[in-house]
Structure 1
């Protein structure tokens, strides 16, 4: 299932070039992923209760259009692919007119909190990739 959140670009997110600093896009994507987890009932405490936490291992981010202060942006997140211990989410940052400002595929690995080693993706999380 796809989720989306809306944000407004704040003055502190603008760089010397007058547009959103590239590092802020990573923050926006993280906010979208956190919302995706929460909307699916998979907040941090729930995952921890399942004996799992997730860590980002790869971020492939394409910058398409600049964003400026005061713009309303929508961060869209949806399942992309599922592996045994990893999964990927596809994300887009869209401008108010629907134009894609940035898109990304973020790969995450599920690890056991105690051992910090990879473990199979828990079924309640994996289920969102097959429905």
Structure 2
């Protein structure tokens, strides 16, 4: 399943170069992941019921084109691949013209919330990768 959200670049997200600060893209992608989880019926509460957490362990991001204040950006999120406890979600951020502004692969791991160790991915999450 691919999801998308649209946001407007706010003044507080602009750096001294007059474009979106690089760290804000990570936040945009986090919003996209949260939306993806919710649409997959895997809310924070659902994970907690399963005693499972998700931890981001690696982000490989490519900055392709600058974005400026007031622009509308669309953040697309989709599953790429999964392992035993790790999985990769891809994010693509596009501007209103459809130009790719940034993209990333985000690697996360499922953990036992009490033991704080990796555990096999719950079936509910694994199904999203088929």
Question: Which TM-score band applies after superposition, normalised by the shorter structure?
Answer: over 0.9
Q: Which residue of 1 aligns with 2:125?
A: 125
Partners in 2 of 1:116 and 1:102 — Cα distance? Answer: 32
Q: Number of matched residues? A: 130
**TM-score (normalizing by structure 2):** 0.99
Q: Which residue of 1 aligns with 2:37?
A: 37
Q: Which residue of 1 aligns with 2:12?
A: 12
Q: Deviations over 1:37-92 (max 9, x none)?
A: 00111011101111211000000000000000000000000001010001000100
Partners in 1 of 2:107 and 2:25 — Cα distance? Answer: 16
Q: Does 1:73 align with 2:110?
A: no
Gaps of 5+ in 2: none
**TM-score (normalizing by structure 1):** 0.98
Give RMSD over aligned pairs: 0.4
Q: Which residue of 1 aligns with 2:52?
A: 52
Partners in 1 of 2:123 and 2:97 — Cα distance? Answer: 37
